[in-house]
Structure 1
Amino acid sequence: MSLGTKIAWDDTVLPFQLDASDIRGRVARLDGVLEQVLKQHNYPAMIEGLVAEMALLTALIGQTMKLRWKLSLQVRGDGPARLIATDYYGPTEDGAPARIRAYASYDAETLDQTADPFSQIGKGYFAILIDQGQDMAPYQGITPIAGGSLSACAETYFAQSEQLPTRFQLTHGLSQLPGEGTHWRAGGVMLQHMPKASPHVTGEGGSGEDGLLDATDILDAEEGENWIRANVLLDTVDEIELIGPSVAPTDLLVRLFHEEQPRVYDAQPVKFGCSCSEDAVRQSLSIYSAKDIGTMTTEEGTVTADCQFCGAHYTFKPETLGFEATDTGA
C-alpha cells in the first residue's frame, strides 16, 4: 500500500478495558508490517496464512511488553509445517514503535496444500518466551498444541500456564483497494480477564482438550457471566470490521461493547524490524574453536550466514571468528 493511502490505524495495537466486566483487551490492525514479514520469503499460501495469524497474535500479546523487552512465540510440530517463530521487540523509548519479525520452516514435499493449514502442524507445542534484558532470567511457558487454530493454542496457553481466561477473534487475508495491487491485511481482538490473586480452579484437570484448563474453569459464577457476555458480544463481529479498512478500532469497540463501558488507552504503533547484525552473528559464533570454524568455511575461503527472518546475508573471514580468532575483522 502506498503512503498516500495508508490508513491511520494500520499497524497499531489499541489497548482497552471493559469497566463493567473487569476485562481488558486489545484491537490490532496489521498492514505494512505483514507485507514486510511475508515478502522476505516465497511461502506457499497456507504457510503465509499461518505466519500472518502468528504475527497478529504476537502483536496482540506483545503490546504489554515494557521498553526493550522481547517476546517470542513459537509453534513446533511434527507435521510438514515444522516451525513458526515470531519475535516482538518492545519500544526502545516511550512513543517509539515496537518491532515484529516472523519466520516459518516447512517441508514443501509433504505439505498438503488442499488440507486445513493448521492440520499441517501436527502434534507439538506452543511456547512463549519473555526476555527482560541483561542480567534477568528469561521466562518460558509451554503448552501442547490444542484446538483447531493458532489462536486456540494461545488461548489454551493463557488458561493453562497463566490461569488467565483469554479469547482471540482474528482474521487475515489478501486485500485490494481500487487502483492498487493486492496486499496482506490482518486484524483481531483479544479479550482477557483481569488477573486474580487466587484463580478459582476446582477438580483435577480442566474441561479443555486432553484435560487442559479452559477459561470457564478458572472463573467463579459472576466472573463467568461477565466473561460469557463479553464473548457473545465479540461473536457478533464481522470479518470486514476486524480487518478494518473503513472501521476505526474505537468505532469497533463502541459497536461491540458500548454497554460494557469500554475505556481506551494510547495505541502502540508496530513495524517490521529485525535484530540481526554482523556483530550478533560474530557473537553467536564466538563459542566455536578454529577447527569448528574450519568446518563452516566454504571453498571460497569464507564463512557465510543468512538471517532466517529478514534474509540478510553476511560474509566473514574465518580467522576473524571464534574464540581463537587471530584477526579483529577490521
Structure 2
Amino acid sequence: MTSLSQIVWDDTVLPFQLDMSDIRGRIARLDGVLERILGQHDYPAAVEGLVAEAALLTALIGQTIKLRWKLSLQIRGDGPIRIIATDYYAPATEGAPARIRGWASFDAERLVPDGHAFSQIGKGYLAILIDQGAGNVPYQGITPIAGSSLSACAEAYFAQSEQLPTRFELSFGRSLLPGQGEHWRGGGVMLQHMPKASPLFAKEAATGEGGLLTATDILDGEDGDNWRRANLLLDTVEELELIGPTVQPTELLVRLFHEEGPRVFDAQAIQFGCTCSEEKVRQSLSIYSAKDIAHMTTEDGIVTADCQFCNAHYEFDPATLGFEARERPDGGE
C-alpha cells in the first residue's frame, strides 16, 4: 500500500536553510519523473545511472531559477557516452509544478556495459545554461569533466565559476515496494554555503583536480568550521534515507541537522514535461531549401522527426517544409 506521506513527497524539491551554519540546501525526491525519463528509452544500465544522476542534479540546481526561466545541464565527452542533456522548466506561475526532461546519446559499439559509467564519458565538459527568456542573453558556465562522478563535476562548477562551496549527496536505482511494480526512484541532498563577497583566488590556491577550486579553498575560519561540520553530518546519511519513500524529507532534515537550526520553505512540485511540438519542428526546418528538404525525404515521400527527450514521432509532407514550401500545412496554397 502506498502511504499518503509518500504521495505528498514524491517528485518534489524541498528548500531549507541551516540558520546556525549559514548554509542553504534542498532535498529532492524523484519517482514518477525519473520513471518517465528513463522508462521511454532502452538505455544500458551504465547510461541509465548517469541520466538519473543528471536528472537529480538538475532538480536540485534548477529549483532556484525564476518563474518561466529554463535551466539546462549538458555533459559532453569523447568517450562512449557522448551526451547527457537535461532541461528544467521553472513554473509558469506561482504554485505550478516545474518540469524536467532528459536524454542521452552513446556509442553502443564502444560502450563497456559492466564498466565504470562515469569514466566512459571521457574527456569533456559539464555546462549549465540558463535561458532567461526573450530579450535576454542566456547565461552559460562550463567546467571540465573531473572527479569521479557528475556530482563531483557539479561541485567543481560551483566552486570554480560561482565561488560557492557546494555538496551533493545522491542515491538512485530501481525500487520494488510491496504491492508495486519495479520502478525508478531517486533522492538527494544539496548543501551550499550562503553567498559571500567573491574574492579573487590565485591559481596556486586551487587544490582540486586539474587546478580547479574546491570548497575548502574558498572557506576558512568559522565559515570553514561550519561547512565541515555540516558535511560530516551529511556523511552519515543512508542511501535508503535519501531515496525514501518511508523517510519524509522533513524527517530526514531533522535527523541530519537538528542542531544546525533547520528551517524549511515551500516545496516545489516537479513533473515530467517536454516542450516539443509539430510547430516547433516545422520552425526548425524552416531554414532549409527545397533541395535540402528533398535529401531528408524518405522513400515513402515523407519527412520524419523524432524527439530525443520524449520519443514523440512526427511526419510531414515535404511540400509544406522549408523556406521554399509550396503548400501550407493546412493544405492551402
CA pair 295-89 structure 1, distance change in 2 beyond 3 A:
same
Structure 2: distance between partners of 1:2 and 1:18: 31
What is the DSSP-based 3-state SS (H/G/I as helix, E as strand, rest coil) of the residue aligned with 2:256?
A: helix
What is the DSSP-based 3-state SS (H/G/I as helix, E as strand, rest coil) of the residue aligned with 2:102?
A: strand
Question: 1:2 offset after TM fit, Å?
Answer: 7.8
- Is residue 2:214 matched to residue 1:231? no
Structure 2: distance between partners of 1:12 and 1:120: 30
Structure 2: distance between partners of 1:3 and 1:34: 19
Structure 2: distance between partners of 1:32 and 1:235: 27
Counterparts of 1:1-330 in structure 2 under 5 Å? Answer: 7-199=7-199, 201-202=201-202, 204=204, 206-330=206-330
Contact 2:6 2:245 in 1 (8 A): no
Structure 1: distance between partners of 2:186 and 2:171: 6
Question: 1:260 offset after TM fit, Å?
Answer: 0.8
Contact 1:13 1:28 in 2 (8 A): yes
Letter matched to residue 323 of structure 1: F
What is the DSSP-based 3-state SS (H/G/I as helix, E as strand, rest coil) of the residue aligned with 1:263?
A: strand
Contact 2:253 2:262 in 1 (8 A): yes
What is the DSSP-based 3-state SS (H/G/I as helix, E as strand, rest coil) of the residue aligned with 1:49?
A: helix
Question: 1:203 offset after TM fit, Å?
Answer: 5.2
Structure 2: distance between partners of 1:39 and 1:130: 27
**Taking every aligned residue pair, what percent have the same amino acid on both sides?**
73
Deviations 1:256-314 (A, max 9, x none): 11111011000000010101001111111111112111111111111110000000001
Question: 1:4 offset after TM fit, Å?
Answer: 8.4
Structure 2: distance between partners of 1:247 and 1:159: 31
CA pair 80-321 structure 1, distance change in 2 beyond 3 A:
same
Structure 2: distance between partners of 1:211 and 1:6: 43
Contact 1:205 1:212 in 2 (8 A): no
Unaligned runs of 5+ in 1: none
Structure 2: distance between partners of 1:273 and 1:90: 11
Contact 1:201 1:219 in 2 (8 A): no
Letter matched to residue 178 of structure 2: P
TM, length-normalised to structure 2: 0.96
Question: 1:83 offset after TM fit, Å?
Answer: 0.8
Structure 1: distance between partners of 2:13 and 2:297: 44
What is the DSSP-based 3-state SS (H/G/I as helix, E as strand, rest coil) of the residue aligned with 2:322?
A: coil
Task: Calculate the aligned-residue CA RMSD, in Å.
Answer: 1.6
Q: Which moved more, 1:39-48 or 1:182-191?
A: 39-48
Question: 1:321 offset after TM fit, Å?
Answer: 1.2
What is the DSSP-based 3-state SS (H/G/I as helix, E as strand, rest coil) of the residue aligned with 2:7?
A: coil
Contact 1:17 1:262 in 2 (8 A): yes
Question: 1:7 offset after TM fit, Å?
Answer: 2.4
Letter matched to residue 312 of structure 2: A
Contact 2:205 2:217 in 1 (8 A): no
Contact 1:40 1:310 in 2 (8 A): yes
What is the DSSP-based 3-state SS (H/G/I as helix, E as strand, rest coil) of the residue aligned with 2:9?
A: coil
Give aligned pairs, total.
330
Contact 1:202 1:217 in 2 (8 A): no
Structure 2: distance between partners of 1:328 and 1:275: 23
Letter matched to residue 60 of structure 1: L
Unaligned runs of 5+ in 2: none
